Amino acid sequence: MKIANLYLAAGAVLFMTGLSAYALKAPAAPAADVKLKCIYTDNMVLQREKPIVICGTAKDQGAVTVELNGKSTTVDVADNGTWKAELPEMKAGGPYTLKVSGQNSVELKNVMIGEVWVCSGQSNMEWNVKNSVNGDAEIAAANYPDIRIFHVKKDRSPTGTKEELVGEWKVCTPESIPNFSAVGYFFGRKLNKDLNVPVGLINSSWGGTMIEPWISRKGFESDPKYASIVSSLDKAKSGEDNKPEAPKVDEKLVNWQKDIETFYKKEIDACANSASGDLDDSSWKTMTVPGSFESNDINIDGVVWGRKTVELPASWAGKDLSLSLGALDDVDQTYFNGVKVGETSVNQNEFWALKRVYKVPGNLVKAGKNVIATRVFDMFMTGGMMGPSNLMKLENGKESIALAGEWKYKVEFAMDYNKVAKRPAVASTPTGNQFPTTLYNAMIHPFTVMPVRGVIWYQGESNAGNPDGYRDLYTTFVQDWRKAWNDQNMPFISCQLSAFYRHTPEKPMEPDFFAKEDTTDPHWARLREVQLECTDTIPLSGSAITIDIGNPVDIHPRNKQDVGTRLALIAEKMAYGKDISYSGPRYDKMTVEGNKIRLSFKHIDGGLVAKDGELKQFAIAGADKKFVWATAKIDGDTIVVSSDKVAAPVAVRYAWSMYPEGCNLYNKAGLPASPFRTDKW
């Protein structure tokens, strides 16, 4: 009897204990004020065949339920007011409705499951569809309901990561696509066609930027060689980054500009009347705008005056106007009927790319002839009235007059680099877009909670002065983003730099901007080599060759269709396992045969091809390291190179310059060979 009572008592205790445990695990009450992170909006694409992660915030602790495509999960809000839900991986499909609920509910419509790619880099990635080849036709045909685009608004944060950013997912239409990344769009369009699944494209890019601002603090902390960068980040966070005694690069730039204008004071004084509305400019030459000075055969760094005469109706007279000119590269002073109405300074962020919009006071506006004049100081590389054309207009609030087309121009002075100093570097301060980590923090980090397939990257022009340093930086960059997304198999596909600036074999760069000591070894060629070396050494990485797409006078080639297609071919091979040709010929090895050198290649894919005539841009050298143009002929699957000027050759280079005009080695798949050298001089 006593034993039986003991068992009963024990059972009662166990029963009560179980009830207590059950009570402790009871579901939390629904959370209040449930919100989603900004990266989740209507029309979004979520990555297929990977766990789907949805994140957000709530006002108080409680439970949040997430439902999508017949799957659901409930999670608790953390103490800091955030929540993170994970749904099982799903196959491509849609459209679906994503429902997130607590005490309130949020529904996102037209959600797709498919392939998501991040498109990032500098201006050639940022370059939009409307300013690409056949832009109007491409825009008109851009009805792709299964392609979704997210354009990230430019932002900076040098002191820490941000959780939110500005942007939203949109369906690809003629209305949404004009200002989106052209490279990203053409890449995504081919993937959508070939894979037949929804494609999401995140464009987070910023013109003129180096790679450093796209790397996180953790990325720099991973390698002791970046200790000085980490130190600068600490100083920026504490507000000690600009000590009074430290000279600023901006001040150097301001002083340089003053020195240049003092040196050319005579020429400047001679053009002092160039803004006048009464000036007879009939003897001035004509240029087409928008366009670079170089595209108008004004091959200088210096100051160029531009003038445009417009006829205004009487109804405009005396009214305030808005004068829009787009980008004037680098800085400008702009006049209306001889009176200055606006200017830019080297102290402004990205002064070379600022969209100029100046107010014209009504007292300057008259019926009939009115004159707009710009004084544009091109300080470095390409300069000019860059537009685009749709931003070049004079408006009265209701009507507008287009300003694109022919302008009169006169050169005030052209800088002689044998007599004046070259422009110093642009400042890299915490308030600018070149400071390490600042763009990663604000424009990339918020997306790292959301699984994606991979990254396409078009950047390097701004790091071309230090190719060896870029090798380490790019490796760190890839490792950093893979860690941030917790995906070591994330494909990274870069664009090798396009051709830019003409050359001769003995002096391949005119003017000599990048190679300070050795003009036979231009930094752009070496940076292309580094880009290719990185793709060979970093797993699941590739590089699209664009050497045949460049422009000698414009760092922004307009043919983004081929760029996007070549990136997509690599993605289809690397990320999706398609058995396709995805690379042009790659140099493999060489053998010396008397007074000739025979070159062997990988990725010949059906055979080697000399497009449009005989092979060009091959140079050969002997032990003296002096390269001369060579004759190159295809012999089966090899190329034989020789020159009667080199009896004992030891090295060959192909397209080894900034702008290797006419380089034409391809394979039968229609893909160009990468520039290469057989030496390591």
pLDDT in tens, 584-595: 999 999 999 999
What is the per-residue pLDDT for 516? 34
Structure-block tokens of residue 316: 């405009």
Mean of pLDDT values over 61-88: 96
The 8-class DSSP code of residue 601 comes to E
Mean of pLDDT values over 75-86: 96
- List of residues 6+ apart from 210 with CB closer than 8 A: 434, 459, 462, 463
User: Do the Cβ atoms of 663 and 675 come closer than 8 Å?
Assistant: yes
d(CA 411, CA 306): 9
Sheet holding 651-654, edge to edge: 628-629, 618-621, 651-654, 676-677
pLDDT in tens, 256-311: 999 999 999 999 999 999 999 999 999 999 999 998 887 788 888 899 999 999 99
Q: Partners of 200 in the beta sheet? A: 116, 148
Residue of 424 and 134 predicted with greater confidence: 134
What is the per-residue pLDDT for 424? 81
Given pLDDT bands bounded at 50, 70 and 90, which one contains residue 154? very high
User: Do the Cβ atoms of 205 and 180 come closer than 8 Å?
Assistant: no
pLDDT surpasses 80 at 482: yes
Quote the pTM value: 0.84
Residue of 165 and 247 predicted with greater confidence: 165
User: Do the Cβ atoms of 373 and 334 come closer than 8 Å?
Assistant: yes
d(CA 507, CA 406): 34
- List of residues 6+ apart from 286 with CB closer than 8 A: 406, 407, 408, 409
> In angstroms, how far is CA 237 from the centroid of its own chain?
27
Which residue matches tokens 């969209």?
355
What is the per-residue pLDDT for 555? 84
Measuring CA to CA, which residue among 92, 83, 110, 89 is closest to residue 28? Answer: 83
d(CA 120, CA 122): 7
Mean of pLDDT values over 158-175: 95
Give DSSP secondary structure letters for 619-648.
EEE-TT---EE-EEEEETTEEEEE-TT-SS
What is the per-residue pLDDT for 294? 79
Q: Partners of 329 in the beta sheet? A: 384
User: Do the Cβ atoms of 328 and 356 come closer than 8 Å?
Assistant: yes
End-to-end CA distance of the chain: 99
pLDDT surpasses 50 at 508: no
d(CA 409, CA 279): 13
Structure-block tokens of residue 423: 């422009």
pLDDT in tens, 170-214: 999 999 999 999 999 999 999 999 999 999 999 999 998 999 999
pLDDT in tens, 512-539: 333 332 345 678 999 999 999 999 999 9
Q: Give just the sign of the alpha carbon dihedral 589, 621, 671, 460.
A: positive
Structure-block tokens of residue 670: 């229609």
Report CA-CA distances (Å) from 580 to 573, 605, 669.
Answer: 7, 9, 9
Which residue matches tokens 């008397």?
594
What is the per-residue pLDDT for 521? 64
> Residue 398 burial by CB count (10 A; 0-12/13-18/19+): exposed, middle or buried?
exposed
> In angstroms, how far is CA 337 from the centroid of its own chain?
38
pLDDT in tens, 400-409: 999 999 999 9
**Domains in the chain with CATH codes:** 259-414 (2.60.120.260), 586-677 (no CATH)
Identify each DSSP E strand in 274-351 by its residue range. 285-289, 291-292, 302-312, 321-329, 331-336, 339-343
What is the per-residue pLDDT for 18? 47
Mean pLDDT of all residues belonging to the chain: 90
Given pLDDT bands bounded at 50, 70 and 90, which one contains residue 20? very low
d(CA 364, CA 539): 63
d(CA 548, CA 400): 39
Which residue matches tokens 């670079």?
292
Considering only CA atoms, give the Rg of the chain. Answer: 30
Query: Alpha helices, DSSP H only, in 379-522?
Result: 438-439, 467-484
d(CA 287, CA 295): 9
Report CA-CA distances (Å) from 427 to 106, 375, 562.
Answer: 44, 23, 34
User: What is the percentage of the chain residues whose pLDDT exceeds 90?
Assistant: 77
What is the per-residue pLDDT for 2? 44
Sheet holding 82-87, edge to edge: 35-36, 52-57, 82-87
Q: Give just the sign of the alpha carbon dihedral 98, 100, 105, 108.
A: negative
Mean of pLDDT values over 580-606: 97
What is the per-residue pLDDT for 248? 52
User: What is the percentage of the chain residues whose pLDDT exceeds 70?
Assistant: 91
Angle, helices 523-537/467-484, rounded to nearest 10 degrees: 40
What is the per-residue pLDDT for 387? 86
User: Do the Cβ atoms of 94 and 198 come closer than 8 Å?
Assistant: yes
What is the per-residue pLDDT for 12? 45
Given pLDDT bands bounded at 50, 70 and 90, which one contains residue 241? very low
pLDDT in tens, 321-342: 999 999 998 899 999 999 999 9
d(CA 435, CA 505): 37
Mean of pLDDT values over 646-658: 95
What is the per-residue pLDDT for 537? 96
Backbone φ, ψ for residue 329 (5° rounding): -100, 110
